[in-house]
Amino acid sequence: MFVAIDVAPFTRDRLRGLQDQFGPRTQGVRWVDPANFHCTLVFLGETVDRDVVKVCRAVEQVARARPPFSFTLTGVGAFPTPRRPRTLIARVGEGAEELTALHGQLETALEDLGLYQREERAFTPHVTLGRVQGEPDPELIPALVKFAAWEGGETKVREIRVMSSELRPDGPEYAVLGRARLAGN
C-alpha cells in the first residue's frame, strides 16, 4: 500500500513522450506504464486489510487541513545517482516544498497509528519513469544529461490517493482504496 498523488493528463503525456525520447539508448530499462505515473508521498508496504480504513481516515485528516497547490516536473535524474542509475525519475520543481510538508504530515499521522516507520533517507518528491535492470546501457548517462532541463508541465493537487499495488509479471497493477480531498475541494 502507498499514498500518492496522480499526475495531470498533460503531464502524463509529456512523461510518456520523454520515455520515447530516451529511445534505444536504454536497453535494460523497465519503463513504468504511463497509466501508473504518480508521485508517491508515503510507501507503507504490506498492510493488513483491517488497517486500510485507519490509513484512509488518517490521510483524510491530513488532506482536510491542506489547501490545494500545484507542482511541476522539471528535469530528469536517477537514484541513487546519475552516475549509478537504478531508478530513472522526473524531478519535482515548483511545489517540492508543499509535497515535502505533506509527506511529513502523513508520516506523523501514520506513525502515530503505529502503521508506518520513518525512512532514514530524506524524501525527494519525484515521478518514477523506469527501473534499470542489470548494468546500465553506456548511453543512459549522457541521455540523463541531455534531458536535465526537460519540462513536464503542472499538476494541480486537489486530492491524495491511498493505493494498493499487486505485482504481476508485466508490472504492478494499482487500485485506488481511498481518496482524500484537500481543503476547499
Give 68-105 pLDDT, tens digit per residue.
999 999 999 999 988 899 999 999 999 999 999 999 99
Question: C-alpha grid cell for residue 93?
Answer: 520543481
First and final CA of the chain: distance in angstroms? 24
pLDDT band at 170 (very low <50, low <70, confident <90, very high): confident
Cα angle: 161, vertex 123, 107; to 5 degrees: 55
Q: Specify the pTM.
A: 0.93
- H/E/C letters for each residue in the chain? CEEEEECCHHHHHHHHHHHHHHHHHHCCEEECCHHHCEEEEEECCCCCHHHHHHHHHHHHHHHHCCCCEEEEEEEEEEEEECCEEEEEEEEECCCHHHHHHHHHHHHHHHHHCCCCCCCCCCCCCEEEEEEECCCCCCCHHHHHHHCCCCEEEEEEECEEEEEEEEEECCEEEEEEEEEEECCCC
> 124: domain range?
2-181
Structural domains in the chain (count): 1
CATH code, domain carrying 152 = 3.90.1140.10
Give 4-40 pLDDT, tens digit per residue.
999 999 999 999 999 999 876 678 899 999 999 999 9
